[in-house]
Amino acid sequence: MRAGDDTGSLDQATREFMAARPKLFGIAYRVLGSAVEAEDIVQEAWLRWQNTNHGDIDKSAAFLATVTSRLAINLAQSARMRRESYVGPWLPEPVDTSVDPQVGAERAEALDMAVLFLLEKLNPMERAAYVLREAFDYPYKRIADILETSEANTRQLVSRARKHLSVERREPASSDDHRWLLEVFLSAAQTGNLSALEEVLTEDVVNYSDGGGARGISKIPVVGRLRVSKFLVAWGPRYWPQADVRWVEANGRPAVLVWADGWPTALLNADVSARGIERLMWVANPAKLAPYLASLNH
């Protein structure tokens, strides 16, 4: 092959990879719940793609999706052990979806912070099967090939994931209702209005604070309407007077970025249903906030 042919082939391979890249990131991010780890997986997929004989591959997108899915599953298996030793609640890394609302998916499924949080409780094979089916609408046969298992087992994996989510999570509120309830909550939290907090929180609400072990951030979830309300009222006077808030979008939902002393300190996400606020998720780990903040500045 002439040098010019090599260059043309590499250019074509690069174009094919870049076209598939949003989907590859979308798969890896949903399986791992981490934007940083997803970028690492995409980079590894690129390296493998460069070292592949492209003439032997009929469908580049299918090949890349398979490589990415398998790499993500492998990393998820080791990440699970690391997260078991994580100090305090582990929450997914948020992503800015204001530019790309679906992060590479045909459907914006398995992107909500609450869904990613619940998927973390499943094993990596179940997560991958669910993501490929629900977010990317892959046929069961195709998913079975990617996961190197039977089609029957693939159906069981997806079914178990669906059942887990249906048991653990209620139907989410519309984006407008989500924003309104979060606004009411924020006002009540800032003013220490206990009765107003109790009105918007569900009876079994859970408050999660992911600070990665940082001092001053609760390392255990706070559970129940009264406990969460009292916790927020007691904590508020030390937090809100020096804080500013900015409304942003994270994982397809309205969210609140909290600043203190000119520096972003937390991203507040909520899981909201018709009943009210089901989960409060405060991402305060600087390592998790950094990629999100970088995307906002682009």
The distance of Cα 86 from the centroid of its chain, to the nearest Å, equals 17
Strand order, beta sheet including 243-250: 222-223, 201-210, 276-283, 263-273, 253-260, 243-250
Give the distance between the most distant pair of CA atoms in the chain.
76
Rg (CA), the chain: 21
* Cβ within 8 Å of residue 66, ≥6 positions away: 145, 146
Per-residue pLDDT of the chain (298 residues; tens, 9 = 90+): 333 455 667 788 888 999 999 999 999 999 999 999 999 999 999 999 988 876 666 688 899 999 999 999 999 998 777 777 788 899 999 999 988 877 888 788 899 999 999 999 999 999 999 999 999 999 999 999 999 999 999 999 999 999 999 999 999 999 999 999 999 999 999 999 999 999 999 999 999 999 988 887 889 999 999 999 999 999 999 889 989 999 999 999 999 999 988 889 999 999 999 999 999 999 999 999 999 999 887 6
Return the axis-axis angle of helices 3-32 and 60-84, rounded to nearest 10°: 40
CA–CA distance, 16 with 59 (Å, rounded to integer):
10
SS3 assignment, position 217:
coil
List, in order, residues 6 or more apart from 117 with CB less than 8 Å away. Answer: 33, 91, 92, 208, 279, 281
Report the predicted TM-score, pTM, of the whole model to 2 decimal places.
Answer: 0.92
Q: At which residue do the structure tokens 């690391």 appear? A: 82
Could you give the CA distance from residue 30 to residue 204 in angstroms, rounded to a whole number? 26
